[in-house]
Structure 1
């Protein structure tokens, strides 16, 4: 792990440059290091902006997590119909969200 100390003046400059480039501070610094060293690294270069999940989708995902947790009881009691119905509701939310994330950029 690399710990880099930054002055109070340098930190906001890096943040502004990263924001202008549409990447995180860390991704911007990694790209600067790669450029300066003349190194190509697909692993490091691939790191970039993370997809931002809209609040409505985060709320839907939170609901799915609660649903999964609630399915433990019926599953432990062998109520397959109830568990399968719950898994169907989970799938109905998760699959469209995950497919949407595949094509989304920050």
Structure 2
């Protein structure tokens, strides 16, 4: 089985989440983009003028598996993962399923 990786990083740090003991990434899911059309209506004219298309944020969902010794070990690993993911400074996430891409992150939960 391929050794998949997930990294979070910015200019000041880099952490490989999948280096945590017993943590493996199962899959990822990118939800649909939020497209924002910039159309301008002009009074006295039919139709609209099409402006440039903008894109809003989207959700990137990463699913992990953790196999520890007991529930206490699971809770400690979950707390460590929360500390890594919930940061004050912006950062990027990279995963080996899409190696040529990095996404800016706004964390929503662990």
Q: Same fold (TM over 0.5)?
A: no
Q: TM-score, normalised by structure 2?
A: 0.30
TM-score normalised by length of structure 1: 0.31
- Structure (1/2) with the larger helix percentage: 1
Higher strand share: 2
Q: Report 1 or 2 for greater relative contact order, CA contacts < 8 Å, sequence distance ≥ 6.
A: 2
Rg comparison, structure with higher value: 1
